[in-house]
Chains A and B, each alone.
Chain A
Amino acid sequence: MTDPTSNTPEDGVDGGDGVDAPALPATERGAGVPNDTTIRASAHEAESSGHPDTPHSPPISRDQYLKVGPDGEPIGLSAETFEGRQELTRRSTTDPGELRREVGAVLRLPEGVVIDPANIDVEQSDDNTMIINMGPQHPSTHGVLRLMFELDGETVLRTKPVIGYLHTGMEKTAEELTYVQGSTNVTRMDYLSPLHNELVLSLAVEALLGIELPARADWIRMLMTELNRVSSHLMWMATNGMDLGSTSMMIYGFREREMVLAFFEKTTGLRMNHNFIRPGGTAADLPDGWEDDVTIICDTVLPRTDEYDELLTGQPLFRQRTESIGRLSAEEALALSLTGPILRSTGVPWDLRRSMPYLHYDQVDFDVIVGTYGDNFDRYSVRLNEIRESIRIIRQIVEKMPAGDYRVQDKKVTPPPRARIDESMEALIHHFKVFTEGFKVPEGEVYVAIESPRGELGCYLVSDGSSKPYRMHIRGPSFVNLQALPVMMRGGLLADAVSVCSSVDPVMGEVDR
């Protein structure tokens, strides 16, 4: 267990050389993205510059540097040096672009490099840092993610996520499959929220087709994706608990997720990779008695979230391992294009379901959960409370579910009902055509985005008028969110790396596609 007092991100960075390291970004401060932090920091700076400075002020001690103002914000220091006036600011005021350039870039050892031990001169080496590798087969990397750390003692300086181990060329495969087959392909990307993948592809295809779905189809899609959000967040609770050593949480999370998966199996026939949401509607109607099943899930999971609360939220060990670990500011999150719970944990109330509603999310009542500090604990609380909000949405869906058809009755898109095939030759041909040739989609291109459990899941679809996508690009939220690891881990302890990685909730199937 790590010492909680030394866990603030700034601590480790400046620990080694209190003066040199923070002086670096000072020249860049204020350039680039203007943000609140910068403004506040410069206000402090104006105050401090009012103080008389001795011409040769002594080196600034670490304690001085770590001083914070009455509002908890760091005070930037300025001092006279032989080179003139030098301004020191806190790491947190660094322009995100500059920080990214510093921490994200060039730490890399190519795959094939074999270092000849004879070439390493141990005696002469004045390099205090160490490069250590984690993964790609590490159990805590949530799949085949490889992380390379540059360490100074136990402090992480730079991190390089190395991905691609699960790359199977699904975007290329999509160009070879018809639109009907497409959802079978995309459902395998983010295997913890497969229904969201199917939904975003279906919405994109429908946008190009220009068809409008019956209301029930939309509401079924909402029900299924919200249940999927619950199961995905439960899975995250479980694995996050496991990463932090809480085996009970792992068992509980999987236990509750199992209920949702059982309902999925009943509805779609499969526990994952459902291929249930398809262009033109869904594959089937909800099973008889679905209201009872869903209500039981809601009634069970909701009180269980209170149990998790009791188990984790107040627990000192859990809080010490999550609070102020992996902090991100809102400016950094925006600059790094982060979305989903990570962005919301920094206090930005951005949820596509609320801000740019799709399906019928404008007709349900729910809250967008935001955090304050953007640390691991906030990301945990956002996800825990999103389970509750999703259950709130699901209850409303159960009430509001309209009657009607579960797919559009457009002969070009929808295969005939099974019963018609037995009695009509035309229906048989039609069925055959839809599933072998597929349907043609008008020429054009469209970008559609939905809120998946991990953030904005986008689909950029280009059609050349044939029955196969000309180009299908999936904007995977995990792929983008994972790139924030270097910024989040910088200055933290190696022991917290697993915790930070877990709080990103990466699904490697979607990262690598």
Chain B
Amino acid sequence: MTGAAEATSVDPATSVDPVIPVIPVIPVTPVTPVAPVEGPAGTAGLSDSGGGSSRFPGRPVQEIVFPTREQYLSVVQGYRDDGFEMCIDLCGVDYLTHFNRHLPDGVPPERFEVVVNLLSLSTARRVRLRVQLPESHLEVASIFDVYPGVEAMEREAFDMFGIIFAGHPDLTRILMPEDWEGHPLRKDYGVGRVPVQFKGAPGPR
């Protein structure tokens, strides 16, 4: 395999835009209180039992919270202290072609989102955190120290979207080969197609 020398030094900066502008540190004002926000229009009232949600009327609807990048770590820590024992899932979403999705007031939409699902075993509740991340500064704190189980999930989100999790112990590609270029689940990354001989039609790329 080629590119062996580059692959040894794991530098996340090589796999994203090398000229990341340094974002000036904005003084963190006490921003909007991160109270549970009712999900956007399409999801309001949905329970996590799939279809037939009315069968479990006592089940709380899915709780969705929109912390900012700065609030994210402390909000996660807060939920950990509140008895959410497990981080069940973490993934990224690229909203490049669906930018104007429904978001509650006061949450400016950005291209990328990190979606975290927390689970409380003691109260059988779930909460979902959606963090907005602009393309120009695709970095967010790692919650590895709060939930060590997210190690692989954060690596996957880095691999697939190029989201950098600051403080992750080993932020390397997990599913794609190490010398792979690009982040496949981004919307501007082509699907790819096996070229068929004798067919003139070009692929989508």
For B173, what are the chain A residues with a Cβ–Cβ distance below 8 Å?
Answer: 164
Q: Is the CB of B174 within 8 A of A163?
A: yes
Which of A112, A113, A337, A456 has most B Cβ within 10 Å? A337
Which of B52, B56, B93, B126 has most A Cβ within 10 Å? B52
Given A112-B1, A334-B121, A355-B121, verify A460-B54 contact (CB < 8 Å): no
| Chain B residue at minimal CB-CB distance from A348 | B121
Q: Is the CB of A334 within 8 A of B86?
A: yes
Q: Is the CB of A480 within 8 A of B149?
A: yes
Tell which of B41, B62, B178, B184 touches A110, judged by Cβ atoms closer than 8 Å. Answer: B178
- Binding site of A, secondary structure by majority: helix, strand, loop or mixed? mixed
For B191, what are the chain A residues with a Cβ–Cβ distance below 8 Å?
Answer: 172-173, 176
Whether, in the assembled complex, A97 has its beta carbon less than 8 Å from a beta carbon of chain B, the answer is: yes
Tell which of A104, A163, A207, A209 touches B169, judged by Cβ atoms closer than 8 Å. Answer: A104
Tell which of A163, A164, A357, A445 touches B49, judged by Cβ atoms closer than 8 Å. Answer: A357
Tally B residues with Cβ within 8 Å of A: 67
| Chain B residue at minimal CB-CB distance from A487 | B148
Q: Is the CB of B184 within 8 A of A212?
A: no
- Binding site of B, secondary structure by majority: helix, strand, loop or mixed? loop
For B94, what are the chain A residues with a Cβ–Cβ distance below 8 Å?
Answer: 471
Complex-state Cα separation, A513 to B152, whole angstroms: 14
Whether, in the assembled complex, A470 has its beta carbon less than 8 Å from a beta carbon of chain B, the answer is: yes
Whether, in the assembled complex, A10 has its beta carbon less than 8 Å from a beta carbon of chain B, the answer is: no
Q: Is the CB of A446 within 8 A of B51?
A: no
Tell which of B50, B147, B176 touches A203, judged by Cβ atoms closer than 8 Å. Answer: B50
Q: Is the CB of B43 within 8 A of A446?
A: yes
Contacts between the two chains (Cβ within 8 Å), count: 194
Q: Is the CB of B152 within 8 A of A480?
A: yes
Q: Is the CB of A442 within 8 A of B42?
A: yes
B84-114 CB contact bits vs A (8 Å, 1 = yes)?
A: 0111110101100110011000000000000
Q: Is the CB of B43 within 8 A of A356?
A: no
Given A101-B169, A355-B121, verify A337-B150 contact (CB < 8 Å): yes
A125 to chain B, nearest CB (A): 20
For B153, what are the chain A residues with a Cβ–Cβ distance below 8 Å?
Answer: 480
Whether, in the assembled complex, B73 has its beta carbon less than 8 Å from a beta carbon of chain A, the answer is: no
| Chain B residue at minimal CB-CB distance from A486 | B151
B181-205 CB contact bits vs A (8 Å, 1 = yes)?
A: 0001100000100000000000000
Which of B2, B47, B88, B117 has most A Cβ within 10 Å? B88
A309 to chain B, nearest CB (A): 30
A399-411 CB contact bits vs B (8 Å, 1 = yes)?
A: 0000000000000
Whether, in the assembled complex, B29 has its beta carbon less than 8 Å from a beta carbon of chain A, the answer is: no
Q: Is the CB of A447 within 8 A of B51?
A: no
Complex-state Cα separation, A206 to B48, whole angstroms: 11
Whether, in the assembled complex, A25 has its beta carbon less than 8 Å from a beta carbon of chain B, the answer is: no
Q: Is the CB of B101 within 8 A of A443?
A: yes
A194 to chain B, nearest CB (A): 18
A80 to chain B, nearest CB (A): 32
For A447, what are the chain B residues with a Cβ–Cβ distance below 8 Å?
Answer: 48, 62, 89, 117, 126, 128
For B67, what are the chain A residues with a Cβ–Cβ distance below 8 Å?
Answer: none
Q: Is the CB of B93 within 8 A of A471?
A: yes
Q: Is the CB of A171 within 8 A of B185?
A: yes
Whether, in the assembled complex, B40 has its beta carbon less than 8 Å from a beta carbon of chain A, the answer is: yes
For A163, what are the chain B residues with a Cβ–Cβ distance below 8 Å?
Answer: 174-175
Q: Is the CB of B184 within 8 A of A169?
A: yes
Q: Is the CB of A463 within 8 A of B42?
A: yes
Q: Is the CB of A100 within 8 A of B148?
A: yes
For B47, what are the chain A residues with a Cβ–Cβ distance below 8 Å?
Answer: 207
A511 to chain B, nearest CB (A): 9
Complex-state Cα separation, A326 to B3, whole angstroms: 37
Whether, in the assembled complex, A208 has its beta carbon less than 8 Å from a beta carbon of chain B, the answer is: yes
Tell which of A108, A167, A357 touches B56, judged by Cβ atoms closer than 8 Å. Answer: A357
Q: Is the CB of B185 within 8 A of A113?
A: no
Q: What would 10 A/B residue contacts be, using CB atoms closer than 8 Å?
A: A101-B144, A113-B8, A164-B173, A203-B51, A355-B121, A357-B56, A443-B102, A447-B48, A462-B98, A473-B115
Task: List 6 extra interface pairs beyond A112-B2, A444-B40, A460-B91, CB under 8 A.
Answer: A32-B145, A114-B4, A338-B149, A355-B121, A444-B42, A460-B115
* B residues adjacent to A (C-beta < 8 A): 1-4, 7-8, 39-43, 46-56, 59, 62, 85-89, 91, 93-94, 97-98, 101-102, 115, 117, 121, 124, 126, 128, 144-153, 156, 160, 169-170, 172-179, 184-185, 191
